[in-house]
Structure 1
Amino acid sequence: MKQKSHVGRSMTLLAALGVAGALVGVPAATAEQENQAVPPPAAGLEWGECPEGVEVAPKQLQCATVPVPLDYNDPDGEQIEIMISKLPSLNPDKRRGVLLTNPGGPGGTGLDQPRFLADQGIPASVLDSYDIIGMDTRGVGHSTPVGCGFTIDGEYRMNIPPYAVDEAAVDERAGVVERAAEQCLTSDDSAHLRQISTANMARDLDQIRAALGEEKASFLGYSYGSGLGAAYASMFPETTDRVVLDSNIGDTHLNEEGLRRYGQGMEQTFPDFANWAAARHEAYGLGSTPEEVRETYFSLAESLDENPVETIDGVLFRQATFGSLYNERSYASLAQIWQSLKVGDVASAETMLAETAPEVTAIDNALTVFLATTCNDVEWSEDVQTYKDNVAADREEFPLFGAAAANILPCAYWDAPLEEPVQVNTDGPENVLVLQNDRDPVTPIDGGKSINEKFGDRSKLVSVDGSGHGVYVLGGNACALNITTKFLLDGTMPDQDVACEAS
């Protein structure tokens, strides 16, 4: 389900790999002390053409590499590379600085994010005001990459846990994820994997800022990027300028609570699709009321649990539905798939699922970085029974997807994190704008409320009466677009939290 939006990277990874992201690091004060001891790279980067495969036309991107320490506790030790891209200001006379961007993940490339945002219609005034900076974060793609050796046909091939129909399914998954964790922790890249965390990515951001020769840097991050931005603003409050956190995971890291919110998010967002499909019942035949559409979902899912057809089972059906709620433009394709399954046309359903599947060429790298970041950021429960209990509870409370979101990850078998999670730092400038749709399948509204509350006086929440994943530029809401653009241009924050009406 490759949608050209920030969903097209972080969320493309969502349906096949995993969602949102994670973060970790030391508490803010300690982090600042450590970071002050790291000499910044010399300003003056060598810009050139971006690697083959990075989408640059028609707006030409430039690329460069920034050396950073593998281990910030050993700043003079092994160095790794972070590749960054730049879409230069369209009007240097109006340029005010740099806007660092992150499309989410973690695990997907962000090098073409500047060009993507330009193509999506980010206001020209923003393009005038900033050099837009993209990057492959630590461990990803054209930066110094890592991999556990995962393959698309292997036992472990997605980071979103499968829907667990019963306790036996949790036990079965526990075996799979334990072997996946062992595969990573004994791989040739294991030493590098231990240093992939959101705290280190935030440190990398500040190294990039210094390498660009800027005293401060602004930041725009979606989904997992909201957690990275929250860590960046917490660890480096004096060198962050204007920070926009869009579609929020609720903290500086993804933990069991955050992952389980996927179940809540699907329950809150699914009615939008159900209403859409019910209004088109004569075309698709999925139910003439939202309630009937919901029943069709359960009927198809349970039938596929008991009798999988070809490559389609209940797990894939639920995940395809979940991923299609990211954007209303996916509703018609989802309805086609349901309709084909409902009438027994399996071949057509398989073809359509294949066409909407994410195009992830670097499956090993994407899976690995997601796991390393998520598992290194915070300690996860090691008790399989805890996951069984959570699955049972969420299957009851969030029947659409709860038994997937609460299922076990390789993090249960990962080594303990090297650091404590980054604590949100309330001591800093009022420079954090939080954007959130009221109905979002993967980062529900509670995530936006949570991070806004944690930042206290430093932030304001802009909530939107809208559905899907992504607000600024991607969501199309006029109120949120205007507020965010004004904030990026002149630093104006709303006097209070704002609830934007649908538009």
Structure 2
Amino acid sequence: MTLRESLARQSVRKRMWAVVAVAVIGLAPLPLRAAVAGTQTHGSDSSVVWQPCPTYSDDAIRAQGVTDEQIPRYRALLARMECGVVGVPLDYGRPDGRLINVAITRFRALDQAHRLGSIAMNPGGPGAGGYLMPIKVTMFNDQSARLNERYDLIGFDPRGVGYSTKVDCAARGNPVPGVLTEAAAHDSYDMVVAAGQACVQADPGFVAQLTTVNAARDLDRVRAALGEQTLSFIGVSWGTWLGAVYRNTFPGRVGRMFLDSVVNPQDGSAVTEDEGATAAEREFARFAAWIAQHDDTYHLGATQADVQAAVLALVRDYQANPKQFTDLPPPVDGVMIANLAAQPLSTWPQVSAAFAALRDAQGPTAPPALQAIFGGHPGGSAPDAPEEMNPTMRRAAACNDDTSRLDFSTAWTRYQRRLAQNPVTGLRNMFPPECVGWPLPAQVVTLRPTGGSLVLSGHRYENITPYEWAARLHSKIGGSLFTVEDDEHGSVLKNADCAEELVAYFNTGRIDRGCDGVPTP
């Protein structure tokens, strides 16, 4: 993952929301034969309706992070991908009511004589699209590509995302840079509450059904439609929660399951944000020690304590006095620096150079080291590019599952305590939490051990999904713990040595206790 991609992923749940539009997509009834992904269907939902796959311009492929040299291979993989939709009930309590579509893709196993089944894959979110995940996994490295030798690879957009039926009712607004006063915090809190209420009111019947449990039920409909007795699964980030809920709901229908970068198992967003902040500050201590070892390059301090003090001074200075550079769209404030301080080790040289440049920046243009991180868009953009993240599904699925609905006083007190306990990285979790005032009841899942083949992967130094969360989920549902000695979110398939372990697990059912992961720069 590039630094820009990492920052973008971490910032998704930290930005404030403002209602800007309401548009229901793909809900007009059409005959089943004419249905496309995202439309309501009539009739049977027991099979896949196969159809032509989307076509993409070169710009749309580049927008997915594909280099010009990789485009021919991407197009070759797209040519062998099968695309279809599976009809599912919007509300499983009313199976004969409104139907929606879940869009799926398939790479058939290359070795059909020794085929072991199908592996469905989810990249996280909630709200991230997995439709093209078979292509992405195959292109990561030669080892991850071997997953397709004996397994069909199944990509899918969960309900509410991408080519599946969805509703768009909200967009993220940009917070005002600089110090957040209590009065401004009240305004932000009220705006988030109003945005959530307006989103639900746009289509209450649809938004209420954007839950992890329903996504798991949809996945089992996909399994049945593919004619599989059991379905294996790879989930990353929120995909680990989807996998755990799927296993919990349909224990007899799960084959082998690998869950990478395990999320906090339903302790509420308040606990999740507090523990994530603690992990980020802990990881920054490692980062500061590394910078100190390279003081001849960055001149930020010769000891860990000196570096921590220097970066803390940057956070406080830029939060009190944000800078707008003429060639950089976002203003630079303490929140941006706190996010930089929480980045994984593969980006440390680049981030350290940015810290050094920010200390001495005069403007009016951004320092080259900062421009390299934030200038432009990685891979460009295109109108026909697939949806990477649906903000409505992102918020609805998170909030429909969230048991912590904090009032202003409680939320503000926790935020202030988090800043005090995590002075460098605490600002990265913006105020208020995204589910304050969410008007729908929380969906509670009681997890239990179900037996069967399961691997839970935790990354020793990660702060997006801290390592202890894997152990916590293991205590609830069992399985084997797999430790990755890095701080990269969901890196197992992207690292060839770790991917080799994962492929061996799916082929044999056996796995070692871990892998090294992404090396220190």
TM-score (norm. length: structure 1): 0.82
Q: Does 1:229 align with 2:243?
A: yes
Query: Partner of 1:128 in structure 2?
Result: 149
Structure 2 counterpart of 1:375, one-letter code: C
User: Which sits farther off after the overlay, 177-186 or 94-103?
Assistant: 177-186
Query: What does residue range 475-486 of structure 1 map to in structure 2 within 5 Å?
Result: 475=495, 478=497, 480-486=498-504
Equivalent-residue separation in structure 1 for 2:116 and 2:3 (angstroms)? 31
| Contact 1:68–1:81 (Cα < 8 Å) also in 2 | yes
User: Which sits farther off after the overlay, 373-382 or 117-126?
Assistant: 117-126
The 3 A distance-change label for structure 1 pair 351 and 474 is same
Query: Partner of 1:203 in structure 2?
Result: 217
Query: What does residue range 290-329 of structure 1 map to in structure 2 within 5 Å?
Result: 290-310=304-324, 311-322=331-342, 324-325=343-344, 328-329=345-346
Structure 1 counterpart of 2:446, one-letter code: Q
Query: Partner of 1:438 in structure 2?
Result: 460
1:62-86 CA distance string (max 9 Å, x none): 2211111111111111111111122
Matched position secondary structure for 2:457: strand
The 3 A distance-change label for structure 1 pair 250 and 155 is closer
Query: What does residue range 42-121 of structure 1 map to in structure 2 within 5 Å?
Result: 42-52=46-56, 53=60, 56-60=74-78, 61-121=81-141
The 3 A distance-change label for structure 1 pair 364 and 43 is closer
Give the deviation of 1:334 after TM superposition: 1.8
The 3 A distance-change label for structure 1 pair 289 and 168 is farther
Give the deviation of 1:177 after TM superposition: 1.3
Query: Partner of 2:18 in structure 1?
Result: none
The 3 A distance-change label for structure 1 pair 66 and 415 is same
1:146-202 CA distance string (max 9 Å, x none): 212426xx3579xxxx99766455434312312321331233x44311110111111
Equivalent-residue separation in structure 1 for 2:110 and 2:376 (angstroms)? 35
Structure 2 counterpart of 1:467, one-letter code: D
Matched position secondary structure for 1:41: coil
User: Which sits farther off after the overlay, 354-363 or 96-105?
Assistant: 354-363
Give the deviation of 1:128 after TM superposition: 0.7
| Contact 1:2–1:357 (Cα < 8 Å) also in 2 | no
| Contact 2:260–2:457 (Cα < 8 Å) also in 1 | yes
Q: Does 1:472 align with 2:489?
A: no
| Contact 1:148–1:184 (Cα < 8 Å) also in 2 | yes
Q: Does 1:343 align with 2:365?
A: no
The 3 A distance-change label for structure 1 pair 436 and 475 is farther
Q: Does 1:13 align with 2:9?
A: yes
TM-score (norm. length: structure 2): 0.80
The 3 A distance-change label for structure 1 pair 212 and 252 is farther
Give the deviation of 1:256 after TM superposition: 2.1
| Contact 1:150–1:364 (Cα < 8 Å) also in 2 | no
Q: Which has the higher contact order (CA 8 A, sep 6+)?
A: 1
| Contact 2:322–2:332 (Cα < 8 Å) also in 1 | yes
Equivalent-residue separation in structure 2 for 1:226 and 1:253 (angstroms)? 15
Structure 2 counterpart of 1:108, one-letter code: A
Query: Partner of 2:284 in structure 1?
Result: 270
| Contact 2:178–2:318 (Cα < 8 Å) also in 1 | no
Q: Percent identity?
A: 26
Query: Partner of 2:403 in structure 1?
Result: 379
Give the deviation of 1:228 after TM superposition: 0.8
The 3 A distance-change label for structure 1 pair 421 and 464 is same
Matched position secondary structure for 1:451: helix
Q: Does 1:489 align with 2:493?
A: no
Give the deviation of 1:246 after TM superposition: 0.5
The 3 A distance-change label for structure 1 pair 475 and 250 is farther
1:432-452 CA distance string (max 9 Å, x none): 100111110210111111001
Equivalent-residue separation in structure 2 for 1:64 and 1:397 (angstroms)? 49
Which ranges of 4 or more aligned residues in structure 1 deviate by more than 6 Å? 356-365
Structure 2 counterpart of 1:453, one-letter code: S
Equivalent-residue separation in structure 2 for 1:460 and 1:90 (angstroms)? 29
The 3 A distance-change label for structure 1 pair 375 and 214 is same
| Contact 2:335–2:427 (Cα < 8 Å) also in 1 | no
Matched position secondary structure for 1:243: strand
Structure 1 counterpart of 2:9, one-letter code: L
Largest Rg, 1 or 2: 2
Matched position secondary structure for 2:165: coil
Structure 2 counterpart of 1:15, one-letter code: S
Give the deviation of 1:16 after TM superposition: 4.1
Matched position secondary structure for 1:82: strand
| Contact 2:223–2:231 (Cα < 8 Å) also in 1 | yes
Give the deviation of 1:404 after TM superposition: 4.6
Query: Partner of 1:423 in structure 2?
Result: 446
Matched position secondary structure for 2:192: helix
| Contact 1:40–1:207 (Cα < 8 Å) also in 2 | no
| Contact 1:249–1:448 (Cα < 8 Å) also in 2 | yes
Query: Partner of 1:239 in structure 2?
Result: 253
